[in-house]
Amino acid sequence: MFTKVLVANRGEIAIRIIRALKELGIRSVAVYSTADKNALHTRIADEKVCIGSAQSKNSYLNAPALISAAQIKGVDAIHPGYGFLSEDAGFAEVCEAAGIKFIGPKPQDIELMGNKLKAREHVNKLGIQVMPGTFQEIEDEQHAIRIAKEIGLPLMVKAAEGGGGRGMKIIYDEDQIPNIIKIARAEAKTAFGNTSLYIEKYFENVRHVEIQIIGDGNGGVVSLGERECSIQRRHQKFIEESPSVAVDDKLRNKMNDAALRITKHINYRGVGTIEFLLDEKGKFYFMEMNTRLQVEHPVTEFVTGMDIVAEQINIAGGQKMSVSQKDIKLKGHAIECRINAEDPETLVPSSGIIHTYIQPGGPWVRVDGHVYCGYEVPPYYDSLIAKLIVWAEDRDSAIRRMQRSLDEFIIEGIKTNIPLHKKILASKEFLLGNISTRFIEKFI
Amino acid sequence: MFTKVLVANRGEIAIRIIRALKELGIRSVAVYSTADKNALHTRIADEKVCIGSAQSKNSYLNAPALISAAQIKGVDAIHPGYGFLSEDAGFAEVCEAAGIKFIGPKPQDIELMGNKLKAREHVNKLGIQVMPGTFQEIEDEQHAIRIAKEIGLPLMVKAAEGGGGRGMKIIYDEDQIPNIIKIARAEAKTAFGNTSLYIEKYFENVRHVEIQIIGDGNGGVVSLGERECSIQRRHQKFIEESPSVAVDDKLRNKMNDAALRITKHINYRGVGTIEFLLDEKGKFYFMEMNTRLQVEHPVTEFVTGMDIVAEQINIAGGQKMSVSQKDIKLKGHAIECRINAEDPETLVPSSGIIHTYIQPGGPWVRVDGHVYCGYEVPPYYDSLIAKLIVWAEDRDSAIRRMQRSLDEFIIEGIKTNIPLHKKILASKEFLLGNISTRFIEKFI
Amino acid sequence: MDIHEIEELIGLIENKDIMEIEYSKGDEKIRIVRAVEITKKAGKTPQERPDEMPGTLHPDTDEGNAFISVNSPFVGTFYCAPSPSEKPFVEIGTKVKKGQTIGIVEAMKLMNAIEADADGAIKQILKKDGDPVEFGEPLFIIDPEG
Amino acid sequence: MDIHEIEELIGLIENKDIMEIEYSKGDEKIRIVRAVEITKKAGKTPQERPDEMPGTLHPDTDEGNAFISVNSPFVGTFYCAPSPSEKPFVEIGTKVKKGQTIGIVEAMKLMNAIEADADGAIKQILKKDGDPVEFGEPLFIIDPEG
């Protein structure tokens, strides 16, 4: 196993990983930008090193600085967390070339799944239903119009190198096509350094349901069940739960089976998530695979009793998987609310000094956060400041537990989305589980 | 069920109960002394009422003020928490006389178990081994000396109306008897308003193991397994865990059986704890019963998955027990550290303003606390400021999780016992489970 | 002494009315002087004021005249008259003597007489007949010069 | 006490209502007095100051003379000479010109030349050959009047 690991991330996920490392008896090295000098992850890690200035490209996205930091600290492995370089096949390769284990999938798997068109092709060949749409990139506007006629409006234009909800545009009208293609291409170039686009059918009344899997790279892959992630805002997940009210045992088996086929076929190593759209008739479509740890992994930890991050580290360190599929049973119900430092009306990120910070606690309440009283939220990074996760015997009890936890959560000095979470949790439609990816849009 | 409940307590347990009430959809009324104006329990409750001045006798022990508060707020029931009036049979009676449900045992059960001599007699008659000692109160010094000759030194002098570790003196030498009896009698009068004393054998290398039970008052009683509470300081519990390394399935069944016999015989209603001494040979002796919710109930919640406080309230509200004995299975391992505001060397309570307060978090970490950054710990009450409870698959993992959680817990402005907890958790003897009630004494 | 201890030391004086602190032990010596203008007023936030006890002086805001507030010594129900059929003990403007009964707070069927804390005139009656009152809640304001 | 501890100490008092701090141990002594006008500028704590970028001015404590600190622009390994067998680029007292190479920071096998930010004399060399250095860590102090 590893003796020292560098965590190439910040915020709550850096803390989550450092916690797992400590519990496994592995020394942890935090990296930080000059803006994160007082960040909590630098305080709880065993060692820390400043890798660059505030802008992510100079620090958390600065691969040479990260490798250099890993070398001067003499680590065995790098954990990339999520976001930043976690799905960068090139970074994974550079790590391995430098003799540092990358705690994540094999570079070729990151690459295969990172290109959404290749991933669609891979999955389609296995006979698993993918989202209706193209398997080639869009050549030009005329090509896009031909596709639109073929599969019918509305459509969604996506960046081939995008993912995680970024770089997506909806087309409701054929006339919009030339314009949207132009904008999407420009955005894709800026965001992903690649202008490749493709088109999928856009479904309106669907759920986003994903399957958490974990593989040991030796053909062993286990599914940890589904997460319901339909409550989204601007394609960003907002509330996640497990299990999904729309998934019964039969459907769960089918989805697990599809996820396992997709990943077993490539002998997948590490944690990953297969994202599906689920329609009202119980038919599901492959959207994409995320080849990394996900923000919402705690809901699965709560219902399975499995420490996903520890398992991920152990597998990367060469250990065997600690569970087999028959050990996995979902017990009770877990819900996660993402607490963001943002204006609940405008969604504009809110930076500033937190002068009151009182966390909820008590039974089956988990907070994965990284801020504290007196901390200044810097304006440079993601607005997620804490994940509030609860578990209870059943969904109704979990909702009530989440409601009282949101009531207890006092953050002053910056704006947060807590009021919106409270509104959603108190709504009849949420309580009934009548949700879709357009829930918040219709709700506000 | 109840629609509104008054919580006649303060601190973390008031918060724990308010949380349970909120989750059950019951309105909560907090009471507070003038010293607790800014206490968190007043902030999270639905309503609050000031009941008296800082000294407990004028507020939290002031039965007329509590009943009056309950009446002006129109509550259906009072939850007494632990400590204060929770084991006061008279208060339970006054509540019921005023038409307010007392969320606790029947007054006669509180009385029976509250008098330790009567309790010993009750249990002895059932054929369950009690601590060797007297069944009558000590008449005078000569009587005490006769008993000493009979059962052999060392002995322990206890107050008949004492309990919970208070009012106890050890006798190592016959010459000390007259003096100790005199002091113990004086202390018992001050603390419990009653001079009755009795004598038990004092065992040196034993464990304190207790069984958590819950009864519905209709003959149904369920045991939730044991807690190992041997790590004590000055007869006050310091670290608790479940299960106990010293208890195997066979012994657990025996202890459960004894606890169930003691409580079924009186048709016990509510939650309660049967405390046993367990010697090195696996023989156990009844010490006393606590007829209330206990500080350390969360470790049992973690390993059983059962919400003990919700169950207690539901039963008091006339609902049936939600579980039967066969549903109770202990899964994994839970540990609790009591975080006190006190000098870790001298044990002197430390009051003052907390200027940094950063709580541990992450998977399977629970904090039941009541302080926050900027809060001033008043000098009037118990020094417990938070309970840190963790769960993991096995004891070793739970210890590592507790260690990293203690490392993360940053409290500045007052002194706490966190350093001592860290020392104990890091010790080889604790890791091996070689513990007894004299662990800390020998350890420091 | 390391940086943390120094930080703690600073924390210590920041909350107090301390201007300067000097400490030495063996060959180690430290002296900390506080900035003058920004000395926070005893570091006390309003939440930390000691609680009002029944019958404390309340310097009122208008022209510094010290009114006296008569606070409830019990949590219970306030009554302004000896019984529903009788007249109130006092009204606004009533002249009262120290020790005179001016109201009742009932707690658990016990009627507790509320007495004037000083000679003066009733300036305000803050509760209505039958109102629930908390411990320490102001019931009357007496103007000792009234 | 090294430069970091001093920096930390300065950070500490900047954050607080502290005017002056004096500390001594053995033959070591430090006294830091705060500039009057900068007391709590716009509520900013030192933590919120933009970080020093390589080559910023460092006002030193003795008589206000501004020394220049040359900071590492990379996380990596510091070398004081072009190769182990060669002499160091500079020593204490060496006169340097702006832009002159005075050291190397190696990151991922790439040798990055560290240049003097100003004309002057090397007053201090804060790292030893082969030391690991973080981004922004001071490597040299240059006295522009030296």
Over residues B114-146, the pLDDT tens digits come to: 999 999 999 999 999 999 999 999 999 999 999
Whether A359 and B359 lie within 8 Å, measured CB to CB: yes
Whether A361 and B368 lie within 8 Å, measured CB to CB: yes
Token code pair at residue C76: 């219970």
Active site residues of A: 292
Residues of A in contact with B15 (CB under 8 A): 361-362
Residues of B in contact with C48 (CB under 8 A): 38, 353, 376
| CA–CA dist B212, B252 (Å, integer) | 12
Residue B29 has pLDDT above 50, yes or no: yes
Q: How many domains does chain D have?
A: 2
- Residue A52 sits at the vertex; the CA angle it makes with D122 and A291, to the nearest 5 degrees, is 155
| CA–CA dist B21, B6 (Å, integer) | 10
Q: Which residue does chain D place closest to A377, by CA atoms?
A: D48
Select from A50, A98, A376 the Cβ nearest to the Cβ of D75. Answer: A50
Q: Looking at A48-62, D43-57, D96-110, which range is the least confident one? A: D43-57
**D82 and D125 part of one domain:** yes
Measure in Å the smallest separation between the Cα of A335 and chain B Cα atoms.
Answer: 14
| CA–CA dist A430, A331 (Å, integer) | 21
Q: Which residue does chain A place closest to B363, by CA atoms?
A: A366
Q: Looking at A94-108, B382-396, B430-444, which range is the least confident one? A: B430-444
Assign A345 a pLDDT band (cuts: 50, 70, 90). Answer: confident
Assign D47 a pLDDT band (cuts: 50, 70, 90). Answer: very low
Query: Is the Cα dihedral B417, B422, B425, B429 positive or negative?
Result: negative
Query: Which burial class, exposed, middle or buried, applies to D76 when counting CB atoms under 10 A from its CB (0-12, 13-18, 19+)?
Result: buried
Measure in Å the smallest separation between the Cα of A22 and chain B Cα atoms.
Answer: 6
pTM of the model: 0.88
**C40 and C98 part of one domain:** yes
Active site residues of B: 292
Q: Which of residues 56-115 of A touch D (CB under 8 A)?
A: 59, 64-65, 67-69, 71-73, 98
Residue B306 has pLDDT above 60, yes or no: yes
Measure in Å the smallest separation between the Cα of B115 and chain C Cα atoms.
Answer: 28
Residue B201 has pLDDT above 60, yes or no: yes
**C60 and C96 part of one domain:** yes
Residue C42 has pLDDT above 60, yes or no: no
Closest CA to A344 of A439, A440, A207: A440
Chain D CB within 8 Å of residue A52 CB: yes
Residues A248-255, mean pLDDT to the nearest whole number = 97
ipTM comes to 0.82
**C117 and C127 part of one domain:** yes
Are the beta carbons of A341 and A377 closer than 8 angstroms?
yes
User: Looking at residue D2, what is its pLDDT?
Assistant: 67
CATH number at residue D51: 2.40.50.100
CA B41 centroid distance within chain: 20
Select from A34, A67, A71 the Cβ nearest to the Cβ of D51. Answer: A34
Residues of D in contact with C38 (CB under 8 A): 17, 39-40
D51 vs B245, residue with greater confidence: B245
Containing A403, the helix (H) or strand (E) segment is: helix A395-408
Whether C107 and B64 lie within 8 Å, measured CB to CB: yes
Residue type, C20: E
**D19 and D82 part of one domain:** no
- pLDDT tens for each residue of B378-415: 999 999 999 999 999 999 999 999 999 999 999 999 99
**C115 and C73 part of one domain:** yes
Residues C70-87, mean pLDDT to the nearest whole number = 95
Select from D47, D53, D135 the Cβ nearest to the Cβ of A50. Answer: D135
Measure in Å the smallest separation between the Cα of B99 and chain A Cα atoms.
Answer: 29
CA D20 centroid distance within chain: 22
Neighbours of B10 (CB within 10 A): 29
User: Which of B358, B389, B399 to mutate to probe the A interface, most A CBs <10 Å?
Assistant: B358
**D23 and D95 part of one domain:** no
Chain C CB within 8 Å of residue B393 CB: no
Q: What is the DSSP letter of A257?
A: H
Q: Which residue does chain B place closest to A363, by CA atoms?
A: B366
- pLDDT tens for each residue of D58-83: 544 444 568 999 999 999 999 999 99
User: Looking at residue A346, what is its pLDDT?
Assistant: 81
Select from B50, B72, B353 the Cβ nearest to the Cβ of C136. Answer: B50
Assign C116 a pLDDT band (cuts: 50, 70, 90). Answer: very high
Residue C41 has pLDDT above 80, yes or no: no
3-class DSSP state for residue A188? Answer: helix
User: Looking at residue B83, what is its pLDDT?
Assistant: 94
Q: State percent of chain D over pLDDT 70.
A: 66
**C48 and C28 part of one domain:** no
User: Looking at residue D15, what is its pLDDT?
Assistant: 62
Residue A245 has pLDDT above 50, yes or no: yes
| CA–CA dist B266, B26 (Å, integer) | 29
Residue C19 has pLDDT above 70, yes or no: no
Residues of B in contact with C112 (CB under 8 A): none
**D12 and D76 part of one domain:** no
Whether B64 and C132 lie within 8 Å, measured CB to CB: no
Token code pair at residue B59: 């507020």
Question: What is the maximum alpha-carbon separation in chain C?
Answer: 81
**D70 and D111 part of one domain:** yes
Measure in Å the smallest separation between the Cα of B215 and chain A Cα atoms.
Answer: 21
B84 phi-psi bin (left φ>0, alpha ψ -120 to 50, beta other): left
Closest CA to B133 of B146, B179, B141: B146
Assign D43 a pLDDT band (cuts: 50, 70, 90). Answer: very low
Contacts of B395 (CB under 8 A, 6+ apart): B241, B245, B333, B433
Which residue is it, tokens 């009202």? Answer: A280
The full 3-state SS of chain B, as one line of letters, equals: CCCEEEECCCHHHHHHHHHHHHHCCCEEEEEEEHHHCCCHHHHHCCEEEEEECCCHHHCCCCHHHHHHHHHHHCCCEEECCCCCCCCCHHHHHHHHHCCCEECCCCHHHHHHHHCHHHHHHHHHHCCCCECCECCCCCCCHHHHHHHHHHHCCCEEEEEEEEECCEEEEEECCHHHHHHHHHHHHHHHHHHHCCCCEEEEECCCCCEEEEEEEEEECCCCEEEEEEEEEEEEECCEEEEEEECCCCCCHHHHHHHHHHHHHHHHCCCCEEEEEEEEEECCCCCEEEEEEECCCCCCHHHHHHHHCCCHHHHHHHHHCCCCCCCCHHHCCCCCEEEEEEEECECCCCCCECCEECCEEECCCCCCEEEEECCCCCCEECCCCCCEEEEEEEEECCHHHHHHHHHHHHHHCEEECCCCCHHHHHHHHHCHHHHHCCCCCCHHHHHC
User: Looking at residue A108, what is its pLDDT?
Assistant: 96
Q: Which residue does chain C place closest to D38, by CA atoms?
A: C35
Residue A336 has pLDDT above 80, yes or no: yes
**D63 and D99 part of one domain:** yes
User: Looking at residue C15, what is its pLDDT?
Assistant: 60
Whether A363 and B298 lie within 8 Å, measured CB to CB: yes
Whether A51 and D107 lie within 8 Å, measured CB to CB: no
Select from D47, D107, D132 the Cβ nearest to the Cβ of A65. Answer: D107
User: Which of C8, C71, C75 to mutate to probe the B interface, most B CBs <10 Å?
Assistant: C75
Whether C107 and B68 lie within 8 Å, measured CB to CB: yes
Q: Do the strands B27-33 and B47-52 form a parallel or antiparallel pair, or are they unpaired?
A: parallel
Establish whether chain B is in contact with chain D, requiring a minimum of 3 CB pairs below 8 angstroms: no
Residues B60-81, mean pLDDT to the nearest whole number = 97
Select from C6, C27, C38 the Cβ nearest to the Cβ of D40. Answer: C38
Domain around C50? 36-143
Residue B289 has pLDDT above 70, yes or no: yes
Residues of A in contact with D133 (CB under 8 A): 72
B257 vs C16, residue with greater confidence: B257
Measure in Å the smallest separation between the Cα of D133 and chain A Cα atoms.
Answer: 8
**C20 and C78 part of one domain:** no
Residue C60 has pLDDT above 50, yes or no: no
Q: Considering chain B, what is the average pLDDT of its residues? A: 95
Residues A242-265, mean pLDDT to the nearest whole number = 97
